[in-house]
Structure 1
Amino acid sequence: MAHIRKRGKTYSYAIDVGKDPLTGKRKQINKGGFIRKKDAEAAARKIELLLDENRYIVQSKEVFSEYIQYWFENYYQTRIKQASAINLKYIIEKQLICENPFANKEIAKITTMDIDHFYNLKLKEGYGTSYIRKLHQLLRQALSQAVKWKKIAINPVEDAAPPSVKYEEMSIWSFDAIQTFLHNCKGERHYLTFLLAIYTGMRRGEILGLQWSDIDFDKKVIHVIRSLSYVPKSGNVFTTLKTKNAKRQVPIPEFVLNELRIQKKRIEKWKELVGPMFEDQDLVICTNTGTSQDPRNVLRVMKRIVSNTKIPKIRFHDIRHTHASILISEGVDIVKISKRLGHANPKITLEFYAHLLPNEDNDIADIFHDAIQNKDKENEKGLE
């Protein structure tokens, strides 16, 4: 029920709308400046009607930085994996609070233009399109919840236009480059890391997260079930894999198994030398004290070897592409390749590697022509 009051020469109304479910504070809708009492009453009735139909939105005065922190800490992080939450917390603090032009703007006043300007700013700062689209997804989810919590009427992110993803050109090594690289890193600590990447197509984090219990020496299979990643302010974090297909079995040749056996003996020697200080985490790729290897160190070693050998410069992830391209060139079925790489489905594999598949379409025109000709001949016989 609205309360009508006269203040000076004008009238105002106040409508109680309960308590804020998040803060517990009492909420009211107030408006004044009406010359006549009946005008204030009429305006209040319109608001009450909207409230009855659950269509009235009390625009929040909460600033974006406060809201995004509350949304993440009290709602979103409880619904995602711990490792993902650690990584997203860092992204929110850096990108959406510290380096965001509308961080201190009321969420009800944020416009689609603000969002688009933010994306353009990140492009100028050199961030990749796929990363910006992740920020877009995060913003959309956060402000969609603000709509559901009736803090804002519409989500300004819905009409925003994040940049289209531009995939970096795929680079792969030749057989000669692979042999040269492996030969020159033979004595390196990360020799086995690179060998596994080349021979299995596993991701860097999957290799660094590999434990001895994941390797079946009898069946010659690696069970890929976790990953290791570096998260700023949190260090190295083990995570479960994102999709059910990513959790997979990867057959390996005897040559790789022998290198794994050598690594196992090497780690046993480290245990003897270090003694009680050795932190046994059952890791295949570890430091000489048993702890996890920093993923960034792998890239430093790779960069140094590539520079010294003068072979084509590629990213670590391109070793995975190299593995896939060799399998394709040898005629391995794309579905089998997809399972080996841990893709969600073969469609993803085709999108990545369709240009590497042999062109078997050259005879399609002749096949179609022959089919038409044969049909015409059948029709001619029927008329005889």
Structure 2
Amino acid sequence: MKGSIKLRGSNWTYVVDVGIDPVTGKRKQKTKGGFKRKKDAQSALNKLLVEIDDNRYIDPSKETFSEFIDRWFTEHFQKRIGETTAVNKNSLKDKHLIKENPFAHKPLSKITTEDIDVFYNLKIDEGYRGSYIRKMHQLLKQAFEQAKKWEKISSNPVDNAEPPSIKKEEMKIWSPQEINVFLLYCTDERYRMIFLLAIYTGMRRGEILGLKWSDIDFEKKKITVKRSLAYTPKKGYIFTKLKTKNAKREILITDMLIDELLKHLKRQQTWKQRFEKEYRDQDFVICTEKGTEQDPRNVLVMMKRLISIANVTSIRFHDLRHTHASILISEGVDIVKVAHRLGHSNPKITLETYAHLVPNQDNDVADIFHSAINRSVSKL
């Protein structure tokens, strides 16, 4: 591949073919001028030709970071992730990586590792948690990695950047006493059923809202988790895939919960009679009085209100799941059984999350070992 050198005004300029544009099919050229001497232009051209011959040359992108990440997200990334995940990631992208990002309008090829670190420091100063900044870090890393694969940049500036470490925060859960106080103040029967299911099964919010009566075996006293319900601004209510293959599971339930579910079923029958043709029977356990999907956001609003009224520890809805697991583990339930009940892909995840709650049984370990040796001696 050859290039040429031309005198333009008082300066020298080189022009060289750098390949074919895969989109337009047209020849791409690299032009650079401003050289005072011909030999300087020739030297720069020779260096570039060597890079091209060795397949080391990457045409610097004129596309800005904000232009690239928007295009990458829409045309590539969001097609490879779940819809609810895409909504959350898109919100993070728009707010932090575009609107509140000092290098948003800088050319993609000019962004450095220092730019990335300055960005992280800005977010730290703004008071964002390390775990949240790490989510930004992960999205940036994926975006720049794709830019590298598409040969828009030669290296990923995020590789050597240093996002803040994640500080392990103390888990907030309710004691059995707080559970009883909260439920005492929860007089709305429809919402009470939601919180009972969360507390007594450890199911996720989406799993509870996606639960159908056909998923419950009243004779065997078990719930089969098959789906999750979510809300997205563009598509409204949608069923989403469960987090892992282990998330599809069977959960045994108590007689108390069976009774509460049967009472709830009778309440739904009265709603059907009251609204008649307006009622949309979709077999949901949790629904509005007209049978439509329960808005996940309203559940959070109700929980926050009840926490304030009941004056119990302020926790998130997901912390009801932690509360369920914590009580089981503190009562000595095997960690593998707890992992299965929660739908974790690996008991190791459960152990790492709740290790501090596992009862300490070290006191009898020495005696158990000694007894085993003694039994062996007696057989000699």
Say yes or no: TM over 0.5: yes
TM-score by length of 1: 0.87
| Residue equivalent to 1:19 | 20
Q: Following superposition of structure 1 onto structure 2, how do residues 22-37 of structure 1 map, counting pairs within 5 Å?
A: 22=23, 26-34=27-35, 37=38
Q: Following superposition of structure 1 onto structure 2, how do residues 351-362 of structure 1 map, counting pairs within 5 Å?
A: 351-362=352-363
Q: How far off is 1:214 after superposition?
A: 2.3
| Residue equivalent to 2:165 | 164
Q: Following superposition of structure 1 onto structure 2, how do residues 353-372 of structure 1 map, counting pairs within 5 Å?
A: 353-362=354-363
| Residue equivalent to 1:269 | 270
Q: Following superposition of structure 1 onto structure 2, how do residues 90-109 of structure 1 map, counting pairs within 5 Å?
A: 90-109=91-110
Counterpart amino acid of 1:94? K
Q: How far off is 1:200 after superposition?
A: 0.3
Unmatched tracts of structure 1, length 5 or more: 379-384
Q: How far off is 1:236 after superposition?
A: 4.3
Kindly indicate whether residue 178 of structure 2 is the aligned counterpart of residue 174 of structure 1: no
Moved more, 350-359 or 25-34: 25-34
Give CA deviations for 1:107-133 in whole Å, capped at 9, x if unaligned: 112222222222233334343322221
Q: Following superposition of structure 1 onto structure 2, how do residues 81-96 of structure 1 map, counting pairs within 5 Å?
A: 81-96=82-97
Aligned pairs, how many? 373
Q: Distance in 2 between matches of 1:157 and 1:114?
A: 9
Counterpart amino acid of 2:336? V
Q: Distance in 2 between matches of 1:260 and 1:22?
A: 59
| Residue equivalent to 1:284 | 285
Q: Distance in 1 between matches of 2:143 and 2:54?
A: 25
Distance 1:310 1:77, change over 3 A: closer
Kindly indicate whether residue 285 of structure 2 is the aligned counterpart of residue 301 of structure 1: no
Give CA deviations for 1:51-82 in whole Å, capped at 9, x if unaligned: 12211121111111100011111111222223
Contact 1:87–1:231, Cα closer than 8 Å, also in 2: no
Q: How far off is 1:341 after superposition?
A: 0.7
Contact 2:13–2:33, Cα closer than 8 Å, also in 1: yes
**SS of aligned partner of 1:245:** helix
Q: Distance in 1 between matches of 2:232 and 2:274?
A: 30
Kindly indicate whether residue 273 of structure 2 is the aligned counterpart of residue 251 of structure 1: no
**SS of aligned partner of 1:190:** helix
Give CA deviations for 1:69-100 in whole Å, capped at 9, x if unaligned: 11111111222223322332232222221222
Q: Distance in 1 between matches of 2:86 and 2:147?
A: 20
Q: How far off is 1:347 after superposition?
A: 1.1
Counterpart amino acid of 2:272? K
| Residue equivalent to 1:125 | 126
Q: How far off is 1:260 after superposition?
A: 1.8
Counterpart amino acid of 1:117? V
**SS of aligned partner of 2:161:** coil
Moved more, 248-257 or 1-10: 1-10
Q: Distance in 1 between matches of 2:128 and 2:25?
A: 40
Contact 2:84–2:231, Cα closer than 8 Å, also in 1: no
Distance 1:82 1:230, change over 3 A: closer
| Residue equivalent to 1:238 | 239
Q: Distance in 2 between matches of 1:6 and 1:316?
A: 70
Distance 1:321 1:44, change over 3 A: same
Contact 1:83–1:238, Cα closer than 8 Å, also in 2: no
Contact 1:86–1:234, Cα closer than 8 Å, also in 2: no
What value does the CA root-mean-square deviation take over the aligned residues? 2.7
Q: How far off is 1:198 after superposition?
A: 1.1
Q: How far off is 1:226 after superposition?
A: 2.3
Q: Distance in 2 between matches of 1:116 and 1:267?
A: 55
Distance 1:129 1:294, change over 3 A: farther
Contact 2:227–2:239, Cα closer than 8 Å, also in 1: yes
Contact 2:21–2:28, Cα closer than 8 Å, also in 1: yes
Q: Distance in 2 between matches of 1:268 and 1:276?
A: 13
Contact 2:249–2:343, Cα closer than 8 Å, also in 1: yes
TM-score by length of 2: 0.88
Q: How far off is 1:232 after superposition?
A: 5.3
Q: How far off is 1:40 after superposition?
A: 3.5
| Residue equivalent to 1:77 | 78
